[in-house]
Structure formats: structure tokens, C-alpha cells
Amino acid sequence: MKNLIKQTIYLSIMMTVLSLLSISCKKNNPATVDTVKPKFTFYISGPHITKTFYSDSSYTNDDINLPFNTTYNFTIAVSDASGLKEFWMRMPKSLTFSGVTSVPVFTRTTSSISQTYRMTSMSNNPYVSMVISGQFTTRSSLTQGDIGDFDSFEMSAIDFRPNQSLLGMNFNTLLDPVDDFGYVNN
């Protein structure tokens, strides 16, 4: 029964990704100026969590607590009718990403503590929607004297005004969280 549920969720995610990839599109004319912030959703699914987060909501004090060595699917869909300049997401370096695809194509940069995925478009031929999806796996285990990773993630969508939408949250990989695994609304 558990495998059937996992297969159903995976199939649903893949159908969503294919649908989103087909609707990621460029605008037929140059970017326009408006006062409306871009919008995006961040969907995550796997053990202990299946949730969609919205860029126009606040999760500043909330947590996502995940166990070690566990894989999650994610999809982020971004839109702005006037045209998108860029979308980026900064995630902890301890996560291992796989199967990441995007429209437009992403670039990835790393620092000593984080990794950033970025999609951009030009003002004379902008995208009005962007999508990025894939999987990530939390690190495999604790190191001696360690109790886990306590980090955060941030995402941002920017148009050509520039109007900006931000989403950020605490992101923890733990052995035994105080508040349980999954999404914790503080």
C-alpha cells in the first residue's frame, strides 16, 4: 500500500512537471513595467512532508525538519505577466541535488555553505513563466559531536521594475527533532 501511494505521488509530480515545462513560455514582446510582484510556488514531497509554499505568504519563523539520507521531490513555478528578469534559490550545500531540469536553463554556483540555482531572461525577450524541478537528498549521517544541520533556504523572483518576491524558511536535517519531522508552523 505504501509503495502504491509513493508511485501515485511520483506520477502526479511528474505529470505536474511535464505540464509546467510545457507552459513555461516567453513573452511575445519586450518586458513591461508594472507594480505587481512576481509570484511563485515551491512544492516539496517525500517522507514526512507534502506541501506547497507560496511567495505571497510568510514562513519566516517556520521550519522544515527532515531526516538524514532521505530523498525529496521539488517543483518551483514562477510567473509574472510583465516578464521575469530572474529567479534564484539558495539551498544548503549539504543537500545533494539530482535530476534538476528547468525552463529556462539554470546555472548553479556554490560557496562554502550554500548552492544557488538561477534562471534569467532578457528584457527584450523575457519569460513570463519559469519552472525548475528535480530531487534532493539530505546528507547521509551525523559526524562525531554533530547534532544536525541548522540552515535556511531562500528564493527570490524579480521582474524588470524591479518588483521582488522572497520566500525563506529554516531548513534543518536532524536525527531527532523537538517538534517532529516535516513542516513545523511556529
* Rounded mean pLDDT, 145-172: 86
Counting residues of the chain whose pLDDT is more than 90, the rounded percentage is 63
Confidence band (pLDDT; 50, 70, 90) for 33?
A: confident
Give the pLDDT score at 27: 66
- Could you tell me which residues come within 8 angstroms of residue 41 by beta carbon, excluding any fewer than 6 positions away? 52, 53, 54, 55, 76, 77
Give the cell for residue 14: 511528474
Report d(CA 164, CA 142) in Å as an integer.
37
Domains by residue range for the chain, with CATH: 2-184 (2.60.40)
pLDDT band at 163 (very low <50, low <70, confident <90, very high): very high
- Summarize pLDDT for 61-117 with one digit per residue, the tens: 899 999 999 999 999 999 999 999 999 999 998 899 999 999 999 999 999 989 999
> Has residue 127 got a pLDDT over 60?
yes
Residue 18 confidence class, pLDDT cut points 50, 70, 90: very low
User: Cα separation of 82 and 162, whole Å?
Assistant: 11
